[in-house]
Amino acid sequence: MAFTTLKSLDAEIKQLEAQKKLVEKRDGEVPKALAVLQRYAKVLTPAQRRQVAKLIGESIDTQPARAPKAGTGSLKGRKLGKVAAKYRLPSGETWAGRGLTPKAFATWAKSADGKAWAKANPGAKFPAADGAVTKSPTKAVRKVTKAVKKASKAKPIRKPAKKGTAKAAS
């Protein structure tokens, strides 16, 4: 039995050595493939570059190879920078004041604590992040602002020019 076990172990060793040679060959080709990808990276789109980086497990710079011309691109896919928090709840949650009101803020406003705060700070939406109370404009102020904007957009009325009164010579 020892002889058959020795033969099977020898066969397994040969198989593992063959696999090792394949892996070493593949590892030797990886730097070549990376060099080719780096050479052609300029013609790849940012999405393609991200996909290649994901496959090889590296991070890449996300700057496009060519900057789009001003005024030709759509604003739909643009990324906005981070905005400082405008509101902060006593629990520590923050919100920049953009988009839909987060659920935590909506539930806090409906709670007894939120109602008490709103009663003490009329006109303010939520507690400010910096501690100061920010009040939203009242309806009257909004109406006046709207009327002023509308009036400034209106075209001025021009009076017709007066016709000269020329005396006829008799």
Total Cβ atoms within 10 A of residue 108: 19
Checking if the pLDDT of 151 tops 50, the result is: yes
What are 38's two structure tokens? Answer: 């780096």
pLDDT at 153: 66
Q: Percentage of residues in the chain with pLDDT exceeding 90?
A: 15
Q: Percentage of residues in the chain with pLDDT exceeding 70?
A: 65
Nearest to 85 by CA among 127, 138, 25: 127
pLDDT at 91: 87
pLDDT at 125: 85
Strand (E) or helix (H) holding 94: strand 94-95
Condensed to tens digits (0 to 9), the pLDDT of residues 74-133 reads 666 677 778 888 999 988 889 888 889 999 999 999 999 999 999 998 888 888 888 665
Q: How far apart are CA 169 and CA 12, in angstroms?
A: 130
Q: How far apart are CA 92 and CA 5, in angstroms?
A: 67
* Angle at alpha carbon of residue 95, lines to 106 and 128, rounded to 5°: 90
Across all residues in the chain, what is the average pLDDT? 76
What are 153's two structure tokens? Answer: 């957009």
